[in-house]
Structure 1
Amino acid sequence: MSETAPTPAPAPKRRSTFLRDLVIIVVAALLASFLVKAYLVRSFWIPSGSMENTLMINDRVLVNELVPKVAPLRRGDVIVFRDPGGWLGPGMGDDLVKRVIGLPGDTVACCDARGRLSVNGHAVDEPYVVLSRGSDRVVRDDFSVTVPAGALWVMGDNRYDSADSRVHGTVPEADVVGRAFVITWPAGRWSVLSRYGDEWDGVPAP
């Protein structure tokens, strides 16, 4: 009696299919990573103390680049923006980080009897601001400004050591790179950045 030889399993085909799928997965992952990095999220390094104690020198933050392209900017947001011109000295890079204080049309003024800043006549308590020793004022000198269309009034949280809109004027909205939303490094400083909505959401429209 003759025996019929078993049909060999199509192992080479399965292997080739597996390799093809693996290549597709790897390429898709790399493409997704590139798109996220290029269009959604970027990492930035903090070079100065103008945002202390919210952001410290050498912190790294992730920035959501959908703001303001897709999602709107809001008062209290911590943003990264390109130097509009003259903000940074030679060798200082191209980007800055500050907090949004005034949106287009807002009137920003300081200070009231309690040393607070106001926007559209509404005084804002800013627990993140570093005060000068012996003073309850969030800035040294009084000012009042109305933010023009298409621009933002930005300030550092370390107001007594921040060259911001008080020195350089407003920032064009078009120069905003995105909204910083989390500190990623050093590991011990990992935290989500707050815009203090409980304070800022009470500001009326201009």
Structure 2
Amino acid sequence: MITIVALLGDYWHNAEDAMAGLESAVSRLPNRKNINLQYITHEEVLTVLNEQPDLFINGKIDQLNPTDDKVYTWLTDELDKKIVSYVENGGSAIAWHAGMAGYKTDSNYIQLLRGYFDYHPPGLQEVTYMLKEDETSGENTFTLSDEQYFVHCDVVNTEVDLWSTGADGDSLAGWKHPFGEGKVCCFTPAHTKEGMLNENINRLLAEKISWALTK
């Protein structure tokens, strides 16, 4: 049995919407009947990763209460080190949308991802995603209403495989690389349930999961 654990939902992102998107993506996998998908809370991350699941999907920002005067974060120093050692020892990690947002840029976790969220324009807008750089139309592109993430990415040390363009400019939307004995993937779309269930987004997420699980 393949074990996938997912940390989803935060102040800005509905956990149930993300669950619907993730479950739809998992249902596309040829080995779906052999997958045990578990949802965890941030308090459970350390215990669960100690059990070395096959894949850890993080779709949660670091801030637990981002609008309060005193903001608390869930990524402790212990967890920051644990996620890296988990991947080094053969686990795989996918940072999905919010899972690369709000973390300290000098954290071990962000160094593991080799990229992080910088900002997005206010609200939703038409975003075109491209499977080939600068190919803004054709079979390798699709458009949906989404938050367009603008990111920093260490492109020299990862493989970029998804790009985005919108009214505010161009950005990177997905990348992946091996790390130690494991794998790391970053995937920026999507913000809404409709976006996560979009045929193209859902298929790409399934492909990312399949890649991460392939040893």
TM over 0.5: no
* TM-score bin (small chain): under 0.3
- Higher helix fraction (1 or 2): 2
Q: Rg bigger for which structure?
A: 1
Q: TM-score, normalised on structure 1?
A: 0.27
- Higher strand fraction (1 or 2): 2
Q: TM-score, normalised on structure 2?
A: 0.26
- Higher RCO by CA contacts (8 Å cutoff, separation 6 or greater): 1
